[in-house]
Structure 1
Amino acid sequence: MQLDDFTAPDTQAARTAFDLASSYHSPAVLNHVVRSWLWAEAFALIEDRRGVDHELLYTSAVLHDIGLVPAFDNVALSYEEAGGHVAVALTAGAGWAPERRQRALEVIVRHNWPSVDPAMDVEGYLLEVATGLDISGARSDVLPRDFVRQVLAAYPRLSLAEEFTASVTDQGRRKPTTAAQRIVRGGVAGKLARHPLEAVAGP
């Protein structure tokens, strides 16, 4: 498995999603969302997951944290739901059918679930395990080490630990009934500070 094995979909939705993320995210968070897509695709490959909608997975991965951005922060909704609605609007502009737009919302919301049944939502499952790896270090020994090094060399973690901790803590404080508060109480700050991938050097 090599980094070059994975290519972003060349579609309007995928290109626009990346452009939006690039415009609003810091370099650290932008690298995080791209790594999340790459981890998701890698898990799909090693687990032989069939029937994956790769355009949906990419678009959802790139936009999954857009609700943390002040411009898209929602006064009441959780950041993942707010981000999901951004994805709905973006994919509507790309011509997706209503049912597929709803899938983008579902995948982004479910990435913050404690777990997702792949039989129910394979894209939601893949994004959940991918972000679990990138934020909490879950299953950090599953993907091939050389591939992990290549991804981290191309998309380094930078100041993700500090930025994500600050953002999700703020979300949890203002929206205590949302997943952000559960993530904070689950010790996300410590998990990021001691993240196993922080010690992995690039090639």
Structure 2
Amino acid sequence: MRVDVPDTPACRRSYEIAAEYHSPSLLNHSVRAYLFAAAYADERGIAFDAELLYVAAMLHDLGLTREFDNHSLGYETAAGHVAWAFAAGAGWPVARRERVAEVIVRHMWAEVDLAEDPEGHLLELSTAMDISGRSTDLIPPAVREETLARYPRLDLAAEFTACVLDQGARKPDSFAAGFVRSGIADRIAANPLNA
């Protein structure tokens, strides 16, 4: 099963931004998030906006970076604001700018309703697969193997754990803090994709 990456100016520019500001581990995570989401959707016949999902996947963790970290907002909310500004620069209408920000914020929810928000559902699912190892058996095996070979995890487990612990400590009311309290560090360490 081959997953196509949408080739639009917004997709190319969002990858450039991710590559500029993310470490190699976080950049590969962003790419895997899209590929896992798209493969899952394609295998199940879920219709989704590929450009919107790709841009959201590339920009969803920008709030973890030093340059875009916000002293009071959760990193997903900060990243959503960056994505809104990016989408404005890309010429997207206001409703589409709001959608990309919404998808990024919702990727931190425990669950996003597929019928209400397919892109948010897919990004929430794929990032949980890649970070905490939830439902990795739902990734088509051929896609999982090829994606991990092309975009290896590198130091993602240690790096992301450090980021979420830092965010949780500084922002006690954030999603990150809730994840820390619920044992995210242990789930990241036990992720079968790390093997």
TM-score normalised by L of structure 1? 0.94
Q: Residue 134 of structure 2 aligns with which residue?
A: 138
- Secondary structure of the 1:70 match is coil
1:163 lines up with 2:159 in the alignment: yes
**Superposed displacement of residue 9, structure 1:** 1.8
**Superposed displacement of residue 184, structure 1:** 1.1
117, 124, 138: which is aligned to 1:121? 117
1:89 lines up with 2:97 in the alignment: no
- Any conservation in 2 of the 1:135–1:188 contact (CA below 8 Å)? no
Cα deviations across residues 145-182 of structure 1 (Å, max 9, x unaligned)? 22211110000001001100101111111111010001
24, 29, 35: which is aligned to 1:27? 24
Cα deviations across residues 95-147 of structure 1 (Å, max 9, x unaligned)? 00000000001000000000000111110000000001001111111222222
- Any conservation in 1 of the 2:36–2:143 contact (CA below 8 Å)? no
Cα deviations across residues 9-64 of structure 1 (Å, max 9, x unaligned)? 222211111101100101011000100000110111122112x1110000001111
User: Could you say what the CA RMSD is over the residues aligned between the two structures, in angstroms?
Assistant: 0.9
**Superposed displacement of residue 81, structure 1:** 0.5
Partner amino acid for 1:129?
L
- Secondary structure of the 1:157 match is coil
- Secondary structure of the 2:30 match is helix
Cα deviations across residues 61-94 of structure 1 (Å, max 9, x unaligned)? 1111011001001111110010011101111111
1:7 lines up with 2:4 in the alignment: yes
Question: How many matched pairs?
Answer: 195
Please, which runs of 5 or more residues in structure 2 have no aligned partner? none
Q: Distance in 1 between matches of 2:193 and 2:76?
A: 24
Worse-superposed segment, 169-178 or 184-193: 184-193
Please, which runs of 5 or more residues in structure 1 have no aligned partner? none
- Secondary structure of the 1:176 match is coil
Q: Distance in 1 between matches of 2:44 and 2:124?
A: 14
